[in-house]
Chain A
Amino acid sequence: GESVGLHLPTLSVQEGDNSIINCAYSNSASDYFIWYKQESGKGPQFIIDIRSNMDKRQGQRVTVLLNKTVKHLSLQIAATQPGDSAVYFCAENKNSGTYKYIFGTGTRLKVLA
């Protein structure tokens, strides 16, 4: 099927290594952030979220770090597996009940066997 994001930055990692994917967000007023994973031919899948009152949040094999000073968000994937190969992108949302999110263009993660 069609592959989304053919010209995205690519991160290649060896299976079993840790991966770090970065995102620079745009709005200093944003206070809620989400990481999505999008496999080829599929819709974006929610991975983990974080609010601006936190610096770090952990899930299963994933950790999100938030640095509000430099408006930077990162996703760390531990012990990367072939099934982690996908495009990852971040989304930011500003408080006050707004429903509009700003989505990044994404990074393609390739896991090498």
Chain B
Amino acid sequence: GAGVSQSPSNKVTEKGKDVELRCDPISGHTALYWYRQSLGQGLEFLIYFQGNSAPDKSGLPSDRFSAERTGGSVSTLTIQRTQQEDSAVYLCASSFGQGRNQPQHFGDGTRLSIL
């Protein structure tokens, strides 16, 4: 499809397990973002990739969170030793460049539930 694709759409796992979330951005979009969305909260920035530049990881909440973007396209967000507070919707977005006049296009997210 032409939009941002995320998988899995839902993930239920036990506390302490590792999870891997995948994002396939819109073709040609150089910028890729990961966000976390919790009930009643605004989008929480996690990490940003732009082309071949070093990613901005300033939003990652702990060292259990990491992300990669291979070949400037697909990205994977990994959460190690999951905790119940990690339960949320994880959204990926991509844009054609950065900054002004470059709206982000979002996937439908991965709904992560930690038991």
Q: Which residues of A contact B (CB under 8 A)?
A: 1-2, 4-8, 31-32, 34, 36, 41-46, 49, 51, 89, 93, 95-106
Q: A63 vs B71: C-alpha distance in the bound complex, in angstroms?
A: 39
Neighbouring A residues of B93 by C-beta, 8 Å: 43-44
Q: A42 vs B37: C-alpha distance in the bound complex, in angstroms?
A: 12
Neighbouring A residues of B99 by C-beta, 8 Å: 32, 93, 95-99
Q: A96 vs B98: C-alpha distance in the bound complex, in angstroms?
A: 10
Q: A29 vs B100: C-alpha distance in the bound complex, in angstroms?
A: 13
List 15 A-B residue pairs with CB atoms under 8 Å apart, sorted by A's residue number: A4-B37, A6-B40, A42-B108, A43-B107, A44-B43, A44-B91, A44-B106, A45-B106, A97-B99, A97-B100, A98-B98, A99-B50, A100-B45, A101-B45, A103-B43
User: Are B101 and A51 touching (Cβ within 8 A)?
Assistant: yes
User: Are B106 and A105 touching (Cβ within 8 A)?
Assistant: no
Question: A interface, by DSSP: helix, strand, loop or mixed?
Answer: loop
User: Are A41 and B108 touching (Cβ within 8 A)?
Assistant: yes
Find A6's partner among B33, B39, B48, B98 (CB 8 Å cutoff).
B39
Residue of B6, B100, B107 with most partner-chain A CB within 10 A: B100
Find B106's partner among A4, A43, A49, A100 (CB 8 Å cutoff).
A43
Q: A96 vs B99: C-alpha distance in the bound complex, in angstroms?
A: 7
- Would you give the shortest CB distance from B59 to chain A, in whole angstroms? 9
- Would you give the shortest CB distance from B21 to chain A, in whole angstroms? 13
Q: Which residues of B contact A (CB under 8 A)?
A: 4, 6, 10, 31, 33, 37, 39-43, 45, 48, 50, 56, 89, 91, 93, 98-101, 103-109, 111
A41-B108, A100-B45 known; A46 vs B40 contact (CB < 8 Å): no
- Would you give the shortest CB distance from B77 to chain A, in whole angstroms? 15
User: Are B91 and A104 touching (Cβ within 8 A)?
Assistant: no
User: Are B40 and A105 touching (Cβ within 8 A)?
Assistant: yes
Neighbouring B residues of A98 by C-beta, 8 Å: 98-99
- Would you give the shortest CB distance from A29 to chain B, in whole angstroms? 12
Q: 13 new A-B pairs (CB below 8 Å) besides A46-B104, A101-B43, A105-B42? A: A1-B111, A4-B39, A4-B89, A32-B99, A34-B103, A43-B4, A43-B6, A44-B106, A46-B103, A89-B42, A95-B100, A99-B98, A106-B42
